[in-house]
Structure 1
Amino acid sequence: MFQYVLPPQKPEHVGKKCLILDLDETLVHSAFKPVSNADFIIPILIDDKYHNVYVLKRPHVQEFLEKMAAHFELVVFTASVSNYADPVLDLLDPKGFVQYRLYREHCVQYNLNYVKDLSVLGRPLEDCIIIDNNPMAYAFQPSNAIPCATWIDDMEDDELVELQPFLIGLKAIPDVRTVLGVDSDDAYDSVVV
């Protein structure tokens, strides 16, 4: 019998849509090269040796997580490994707004890419929204996706603020794919906030 990667929704999330967030270049940017303005420096064990990872937070990310947690069941789905993603998320989300974390092992390898197959989550696809900077990550369900700009270090970036009204508007849409599946920039205009 097939087993979904997420448990059934908690009572406080029943009826809420599931918002799936990418980690790298969507919520944070990480590098092995030292950066002077890193928000966190995380030691990661790779091949029996520790390496420092320098992590920058995308502007407004913590406020975004807090506000979206009031409206959605939040899941971070990353193509990264857990020994990197977990310490980043522990520091990024100390209040635990993200309900679940999924990693590289939950992805499907397809055409040399890690694809995040939303059908394995155990949530109705009409209620799933994924935000990711890499279109290959949502190649199996493009009608569930909100593409976002790749974020590296632009401290003036406000994409996470700009997305909030659109996301909140999606709460009332019975099937998010009817809006997100629109193959143009008109998708944002079709949601009444």
Structure 2
Amino acid sequence: MDQTLNFKPSPKSSYFRSSPGSKLSFQSEDDRETALSSDFTPKPKPKPLQGMTTTTFSPEIEETFKSSNKDVDVKKTRNTKLSRFSTQRIITVNEGDKDEEPEQIEKEIQQYQILYTDIIDDQAKTIEEQMKKMEEKIKVSPKLNKIKSKPISMRNFQKIGESKQDKLIDHPFRHLIFNPTIQEEIFQKHLRITQRGLIYSKRCLKGPSDQFIEKKKISLPKINPQRLNTIFLDLDETFVHACLQKENSQIKINQINDDGSQNEININIRPYTQYFLQELSQFYTVYIYTASSQAYASAIINFLDPQKQYISGILHRTNCMETKNGFFIKDLRIVADLDLNKTLIVDNLVHSFGLQIENGIPILEWNDNVDDVELKYLLEYLVDASEQPNLKEFNVAHFQLEKLIDYIIQQ
């Protein structure tokens, strides 16, 4: 997706990965600019930017973890207010939404999970039972008859899993990857990334004020106004991967910059991308929502949908909320007249839709695997969801992401 949170501690000042030729620019923040945020928590002591590392947590959270071994009530509500939003950019990246996802917050996770060791088994059983009940209730969508090649549904996991000896078939969060066959190592990595994004979103991310959102409000066009359901799709590591010079790329595209200059961008395109967009547009109004630049996003979308038949519009970096840590958050509330009960957002990083977890689908990150079929199997879930009176409730019932926060991932 966009901005990959990097939880990996480093004694040195951290860096942000970007596409070839991009430059990193750090600026000091004007406190008057950040006054739009509803978070008035005192600032932590200044320290070098480190993407998102274990040290990015506020002193209040660290103190909470230290005191957790002293008979703290596990149900006590946290009032941590860490993230604030700024209208001034503190990081400038030329193209590609590639901030780093934190890889390690092991200390915080382990200390937090100690509090829940007595209830994890019950939670896992409950999740598994609920998933089985849901799979039994869902029936094949009649709309799928309109699709040229019917993708295999999540409902077929058990049948296919048994035939392929899927070791993960009974895992309570197996549904986070739609492909019915997946390597355990890839699954565990995706599970950890998703959990870390959830912890950051629920424990640290503080939403902007209503005044800030009003300043960001936009109205979006629709190719087909009769489509009641809306979906926002990430770009980088969801549909495409921007290649470095040393990487072999499938496609070379000319990007036209704001000043009229041009530069070449090299990308790989995820398998089934154009098929996915074509079929999905029959059931949703489709938008791209990326933390990359407008010029970069437009160049890629013009290649994927040259006739503008499937994608109704693009939201880019200026439409994101930027935290003081330099992370771009996609807040759906900035879209005027948007019904969140009929809206979904797909991203490979949870923190990007951290303010609307209920609407989010954390897709498996993609770089260059030519055998990837995740989009093919995700499609049927989205078609099923489009038939529901409340997409958000349907999505919550399927993913149950908040329960993953307390789940102990086996190392």
Q: Is 1:153 paired with 2:368?
A: yes
Please point out which of 128, 131, 137 is paired with 2:343. 128
Shifted more, 104-113 versus 159-168: the winner is: 104-113
Q: Any idea what SS the aligned residue of 1:55 has?
A: strand
1:189 counterpart residue number: none
Residues 68-87 of structure 1: matches in 2 within 5 Å? Answer: 68-87=280-299
User: Counterpart of 1:176 in structure 2: which amino acid?
Assistant: L
Residues 34-49 of structure 1: matches in 2 within 5 Å? Answer: 34-43=246-255
**What CA distance in whole angstroms lies between the structure 1 residues aligned with 2:374 and 2:258?**
33
Shifted more, 12-21 versus 135-144: the winner is: 12-21
Please point out which of 203, 228, 231 is paired with 1:19. 231
Q: Is 1:66 paired with 2:278?
A: yes
**What CA distance in whole angstroms lies between the structure 2 residues aligned with 1:50 and 1:95?**
22
**What CA distance in whole angstroms lies between the structure 1 residues aligned with 2:247 and 2:256?**
16
User: Counterpart of 2:387 in structure 1: which amino acid?
Assistant: A
Deviation at 1:37, TM superposition (A): 3.8
Deviation at 1:52, TM superposition (A): 3.0
**What CA distance in whole angstroms lies between the structure 1 residues aligned with 2:255 and 2:307?**
22
Structure-2-length-normalised TM-score = 0.42
Q: Is 1:102 paired with 2:315?
A: yes
Measured against aligned partners, the alpha-carbon deviations of 1:17-61 in whole angstroms (never above 9, x if no partner) come to 101000100011112425434223335659998653211110010
**What CA distance in whole angstroms lies between the structure 2 residues aligned with 1:77 and 1:94?**
18
**What CA distance in whole angstroms lies between the structure 2 residues aligned with 1:136 and 1:38?**
29
User: Counterpart of 1:152 in structure 2: which amino acid?
Assistant: N
Over aligned residue pairs, what C-alpha RMSD do you find? 2.7
CA contact (8 A) 2:227 2:284 kept: no
Please point out which of 170, 178, 188 is paired with 2:393. 178
**What CA distance in whole angstroms lies between the structure 2 residues aligned with 1:39 and 1:101?**
21
CA contact (8 A) 1:170 1:176 kept: yes
CA contact (8 A) 1:42 1:88 kept: no
1:188 counterpart residue number: none
User: Counterpart of 2:326 in structure 1: which amino acid?
Assistant: L
Unaligned residue ranges in structure 2 (runs of 5+): 1-210, 403-411
Deviation at 1:105, TM superposition (A): 0.1
1:190 counterpart residue number: none
Q: Any idea what SS the aligned residue of 1:157 has?
A: coil
CA contact (8 A) 1:6 1:100 kept: no
**What CA distance in whole angstroms lies between the structure 2 residues aligned with 1:175 and 1:8?**
22
- Structure 1 segments, 4+ long, off by >4 Å, are 43-51
Deviation at 1:62, TM superposition (A): 0.4
CA contact (8 A) 1:13 1:72 kept: no
Aligned length: 185
Structure-1-length-normalised TM-score = 0.85
- Greater per-residue strand proportion: 1
**What CA distance in whole angstroms lies between the structure 2 residues aligned with 1:162 and 1:98?**
20
Please point out which of 95, 116, 134 is paired with 2:330. 116
Deviation at 1:144, TM superposition (A): 0.3
For the pair shown, the structure with the greater C-alpha radius of gyration is 2
**What CA distance in whole angstroms lies between the structure 2 residues aligned with 1:86 and 1:33?**
21
Identity of aligned residues (%): 26
Q: Is 1:29 paired with 2:248?
A: no
Deviation at 1:66, TM superposition (A): 0.4
